[in-house]
Amino acid sequence: MRLSSSFLPTLKEDPAEAQIISHRLMLRTGMVRQMSSGIYAWLPLGLRVLDNISRIVREEQNAINAQEVLMPTLQSADLWKRSGRYDAYGPEMLRIVDRHKRDLLYGPTNEEMITDIFGQFIKSYKELPQLLYQIQWKFRDEIRPRFGVMRGREFYMKDGYSFDLNYEDAVVTYHKMMLSYLRTFQRIGVKAIPMLADTGPIGGDLSHEFIILAPTGESGIYFDSDFTEQNWLEMPVDINDKESLAAFFQRMTRFYAATDEKHDQNEWQKVPESRRCEGRGIEVGQIFYFGTKYTEAMNVSVIGPDSDKINPHMGSYGIGVSRLVGAIIESSHDDQGIIWPDAIAPFKAVIINLGLKNQACKDACEALYKMDQEQLLYDDRDERAGVKFADADLIGHPWQIIIGPRGIGNNVVEIKRRETGERMEVSIEQVMHYISSYQR
Amino acid sequence: MRLSSSFLPTLKEDPAEAQIISHRLMLRTGMVRQMSSGIYAWLPLGLRVLDNISRIVREEQNAINAQEVLMPTLQSADLWKRSGRYDAYGPEMLRIVDRHKRDLLYGPTNEEMITDIFGQFIKSYKELPQLLYQIQWKFRDEIRPRFGVMRGREFYMKDGYSFDLNYEDAVVTYHKMMLSYLRTFQRIGVKAIPMLADTGPIGGDLSHEFIILAPTGESGIYFDSDFTEQNWLEMPVDINDKESLAAFFQRMTRFYAATDEKHDQNEWQKVPESRRCEGRGIEVGQIFYFGTKYTEAMNVSVIGPDSDKINPHMGSYGIGVSRLVGAIIESSHDDQGIIWPDAIAPFKAVIINLGLKNQACKDACEALYKMDQEQLLYDDRDERAGVKFADADLIGHPWQIIIGPRGIGNNVVEIKRRETGERMEVSIEQVMHYISSYQR
């Protein structure tokens, strides 16, 4: 994209409304704009990040054979009366009355709707398991929306739901989803650590929150640093083999990790001291087994192997996609601005032309830009170099490709890695290859 | 996708609620399920079509340098009070009160919001033109929702908005968008004909509706059949050159095309008789120039070349993405079911195994399926051949790849083209290549 003809507006000054760094940086870089309290429009720069995260989430859901659906944002109140949650949910549920005086609501989550859909179509145990997900806008009428997209009212979320014949099968699905989540976050480029979470009145140990390390996080966390050394993408796990999944899960849960609510000093002492990490974290996902709660309440069953009616066992699996954008910035920035992980950066690199009046520089920029117009941002504005460098650091492109009269005479450009500040000289023919094959 | 482990449920019987064929077929094939009056969940089969259409729309918008944003579904009433439309809009606008008693609404369209966003960031004529679009859910509280997704309440729509310095520039943008729309519909594989539309009190001739030919259409249409012979994708038009765009537009408008409201018998008589086509059509898009209506009402201006304040000239450009799914089925089906255009079909082909107990057949199916698991549906169900053929015709995959014991001995599979019923024998190595390179 050419910056001069793009809708990529940055703000010169810090917006007064933003209390935390991610919110401030998202407004300053023109990623989002608040339209009402806790309701944001995503401008081109922010949408690119949101789309990049969604794509990875989707690919990793599909990789475990979860199937994508898309449910409407508005739901009938009747559906929630069947589960008993319509009255229980409280004022965070946005309740709506349509022109025919029917009660609707803006879905804050979709257990009821997916259970209803499942029940309409799936009639036999032979059709289990089922694993369905969507990425869709949701609404929670927070009493005090704050922290930008981290605690907005209208938010973008991946919510998945599983249906299994019994507890044992549901555990297998849970393990599979755990693997999918670890791989998703690793690909996105963030350290998200699963921590045991409260399962409430249902009990059991099948709920984990995924928490990103960030100094501004809402919870205190304790974890074994070896966890973050694991490579889940290359770990050989057969997702069609429950033993293989169980072995993976056991290996994963060997590492101590707990929020302060669940922290256990005795267990913590068993972690070698050099590996004990304490910090604060932001929740960006949760996976949860809850059994037959909704299938029983909504009277949804399948015919079992002995022709008996069986309420399937369910789990639900969320990733806060819009929240993640903020959380990643909280965990990855410096005084100059955002530092995007490569996989979700809005652009791979920005091209900065230092020789606006130099034809060779201009030609080199154009030639480079044409190599990947979709993934390169070309800062072709008539601005001082200092402004361009500051904006590049602020937006946080993983790479800056700096083209100036001196280097271009030798067929060389300078590249700067945003994360480390490292600078290198590379020939113009090699630069795209270098960037693409760079290993952190 | 393997059908046996997919959430691709078909209904055996025609649903009573559906009055028109597209609605009936979408329910029968399990593309959607109605969750409330005029509110649908998109199941995997339907979502694949919705995504395919969205992808083409997006690529063709990006090709004219329109930039994608994503605005929230809920809007503040205040925004609509600024334009004067809050009171004018009537009961189709879904009005909502949040927990703090603030008035919100579920956006039926976004002229106000985009004008506000534009006004916050764009201050100078030098930053014009701007062309922004989104693909997002919208809501219109129809008094009698009907015809399935064709007249639903919650619907998916591409809405684009342009800002130009003056009328002359706005016309250039209009021409560019016309080209983009013609290319979009051609790539989707439908004949959508632009017809002059009413511009209301603003006047001028800069509004076109895009209408798909279908016997169940709401309007009578008259057009020159030569229009549908044009290849807009290969027509050389320089989108950065206003003369080139104007020449294209002139060429396009040479062909007579009008709905019955705008039909002109005198002009119609000038079309050679053999080229006069009459029929009925369904509107699937509209493009519209409306000048300074919103920029004036909302007091949004830029600094012009002479340092004067100028209200930019706007246009808006819609494509009913979810509506298109229904409209395409209305225009492309037979007694057996849907006939998908290749570009938007949920799967390229279905693999039908006639030799369930034959190892060679099974191996051949598996090998073929592995060539493109994402785009092939493998009907591996333990069902009679008749059931599989009927489902394949019903769902409307462009190709059926039929693998049976007799052919496989000779390394040959049968393929059937859904559109024509044509059958061919192809070697198993060649089948994917044959399908991909087939020209209608």
Of A44, A96, A122, the CB nearest to B94: A96
% pLDDT > 90, chain B = 89
**Would you call B154 and A104 a contact, using CB atoms and an 8 Å cutoff?**
no
The conformation of residue A164, written as its DSSP 8-state character, comes to E
CATH code, domain with B43: 3.30.930.10
Task: Report the relative pairing of strands B349-353 and B376-379 from DSSP bridges.
Answer: parallel
**Would you call A102 and B70 a contact, using CB atoms and an 8 Å cutoff?**
no
Q: Could you report the predicted ipTM of this complex, rounded to two decimals?
A: 0.96
Question: Which residues are A156's β-sheet partners?
Answer: A137
Task: Report the relative pairing of strands B207-213 and B276-291 from DSSP bridges.
Answer: antiparallel
pLDDT band per the 50, 70, 90 thresholds, residue B425: very high
Stretch among A188-197, A303-312, B104-113, B169-178 having the lowest mean pLDDT: A188-197
Distance CA(A258)–CA(A228), nearest Å, equals: 14
pLDDT in tens, A371-392: 999 999 999 999 999 999 999 9
Of A41, A67, A74, the CB nearest to B113: A41
pLDDT in tens, A169-224: 999 999 999 999 999 999 999 999 999 887 766 556 689 999 999 988 888 999 99
**N-terminal to C-terminal alpha carbon distance within chain B:** 25
**Would you call A70 and B79 a contact, using CB atoms and an 8 Å cutoff?**
no
**Would you call A41 and B70 a contact, using CB atoms and an 8 Å cutoff?**
yes
A289, A174 Cβ separation under 8 angstroms: yes
Distance CA(B265)–CA(B258), nearest Å, equals: 10
| Residue A221, min C-alpha distance to chain B (Å) | 33
Task: Report whether pLDDT(B201) > 90.
Answer: no
Amino acid at B207: S
- Residue A265: how many CB atoms within 10 A of its CB? 7
pLDDT in tens, B221-278: 999 999 999 999 999 999 999 999 999 999 999 999 999 888 999 999 999 999 999 9
Q: Which tokens hold the place of A208? A: 């984990």
Cα–Cα nearest to B162, from B314, B60, B312: B314
What average pLDDT does chain B have?
95
What is residue B74's predicted lDDT score, i.e. its pLDDT?
98
Of B47, B74, B141, the CB nearest to A69: B47
- Which distant-in-sequence residues (6+ apart) come within 8 Å of B407 by Cβ? B413, B414, B425
| Residue B98 and residue B239 share a domain | yes
- Of B303, B338, B373, which marks where a domain is finished? B338
Task: Report whether pLDDT(B202) > 70.
Answer: no
Q: Does A70 touch chain B (CB under 8 A)?
A: yes
**Would you call B75 and A35 a contact, using CB atoms and an 8 Å cutoff?**
yes
B107 — phi, psi (to 5°)? -55, 125
pLDDT in tens, B286-336: 999 999 999 999 999 999 999 999 999 999 999 999 999 999 999 999 999
Distance CA(B331)–CA(B343), nearest Å, equals: 15
What is residue A316's predicted lDDT score, i.e. its pLDDT?
96
Q: Does A246 touch chain B (CB under 8 A)?
A: no
**Would you call A117 and B33 a contact, using CB atoms and an 8 Å cutoff?**
yes
| Residue B390 and residue B292 share a domain | no
Q: Which tokens hold the place of B139? A: 């809501």
Q: Is A217 helix (H, G, I), strand (E, B) or coil?
A: coil
What is residue A22's predicted lDDT score, i.e. its pLDDT?
97
Average pLDDT of B124-150? 96
Q: Is A187 helix (H, G, I), strand (E, B) or coil?
A: helix
Distance CA(A115)–CA(A297), nearest Å, equals: 10
Q: How many domains does chain B have?
A: 2
Distance CA(A182)–CA(A232), nearest Å, equals: 6
- Which distant-in-sequence residues (6+ apart) come within 8 Å of B63 by Cβ? B180, B183, B239
pLDDT in tens, A281-319: 999 999 999 999 999 999 999 999 999 999 999 999 999
Question: Which residues are B34's β-sheet partners?
Answer: B40
B119, B38 Cβ separation under 8 angstroms: no
| Residue B237 and residue B302 share a domain | yes
| Residue A169 and residue A79 share a domain | yes
Q: Is B17 helix (H, G, I), strand (E, B) or coil?
A: coil
Q: Does B132 touch chain A (CB under 8 A)?
A: yes
- Which distant-in-sequence residues (6+ apart) come within 8 Å of A343 by Cβ? A52, A56, A187, A188, A189
**Would you call B9 and A122 a contact, using CB atoms and an 8 Å cutoff?**
yes
B68, A44 Cβ separation under 8 angstroms: yes
**Would you call A30 and B113 a contact, using CB atoms and an 8 Å cutoff?**
no
Distance of CA A435 to the CA centre of its chain: 24
| Residue B242 and residue B201 share a domain | yes
Q: Is A130 helix (H, G, I), strand (E, B) or coil?
A: strand
- Of B311, B338, B365, which marks where a domain is finished? B338
pLDDT band per the 50, 70, 90 thresholds, residue A18: confident
| Residue B42, min C-alpha distance to chain A (Å) | 5
B159 — phi, psi (to 5°)? -125, 125
| Residue B392 and residue B303 share a domain | no
Distance CA(A121)–CA(A128), nearest Å, equals: 12
Average pLDDT of B374-387? 94
% pLDDT > 90, chain A = 89
Give the DSSP H/E element, type plus range, for residue A414: strand A412-417
Distance CA(A348)–CA(A433), nearest Å, equals: 12
What is residue B205's predicted lDDT score, i.e. its pLDDT?
66
B282, B330 Cβ separation under 8 angstroms: yes
**Would you call A71 and B102 a contact, using CB atoms and an 8 Å cutoff?**
no
| Residue B301, min C-alpha distance to chain A (Å) | 16
Q: Is A254 helix (H, G, I), strand (E, B) or coil?
A: coil
Average pLDDT of A54-69? 97
- Residue A75: how many CB atoms within 10 A of its CB? 27
Q: Is A235 helix (H, G, I), strand (E, B) or coil?
A: coil
What is the Cα gyration radius of chain B?
24
Q: What secondary structure does DSSP assign to B113-172, as a single string?
A: HHHHHHHHH--BGGG--EEEEEEEEEE---SS-BTGGGB-SEEEEEEEEEEESSHHHHHH
| Residue A404, min C-alpha distance to chain B (Å) | 26
| Residue A125 and residue A234 share a domain | yes
| Residue A260 and residue A141 share a domain | yes
Q: Categorise residue B150: left if φ over 0, alpha if ψ from -120 to 50, beta otherwise.
A: alpha
| Residue B392 and residue B289 share a domain | no
| Residue A100 and residue A37 share a domain | yes
Alpha helices in A201-259 (DSSP H): 242-253
Distance CA(A17)–CA(B27), nearest Å, equals: 48
What is residue B16's predicted lDDT score, i.e. its pLDDT?
83
- Which distant-in-sequence residues (6+ apart) come within 8 Å of B376 by Cβ? B1, B347, B348, B349, B350, B351, B368, B369
| Residue B328 and residue B385 share a domain | no
**Would you call A132 and B7 a contact, using CB atoms and an 8 Å cutoff?**
yes
CATH code, domain with B432: 3.40.50.800
In A48-67, the residues whose Cβ lies within 8 Å of chain B are 50, 65, 67
% pLDDT > 70, chain B = 98
- Would you call the peptide bond into A129 cis, given omega within 30 degrees of 0 as the criterion? yes
| Residue B364 and residue B232 share a domain | no
- Residue B386: how many CB atoms within 10 A of its CB? 8
| Residue B20, min C-alpha distance to chain A (Å) | 22
Distance CA(A250)–CA(A235), nearest Å, equals: 13
Q: Give the structural domain span for B382.
A: 347-437
Q: Which of B102, B104, B116, B128 to mutate to test the interface with A (most CBs of A within 10 A)?
A: B104
Give the DSSP H/E element, type plus range, for residue B196: strand B192-196
What is residue A440's predicted lDDT score, i.e. its pLDDT?
64
In B184-243, the residues whose Cβ lies within 8 Å of chain A are none
- Of B309, B338, B367, which marks where a domain is finished? B338
Q: Does A91 touch chain B (CB under 8 A)?
A: yes
The label of the residue with tokens 């482990």 reads: B5
**Would you call B47 and A41 a contact, using CB atoms and an 8 Å cutoff?**
no
What is residue A270's predicted lDDT score, i.e. its pLDDT?
95
Q: Does A12 touch chain B (CB under 8 A)?
A: no
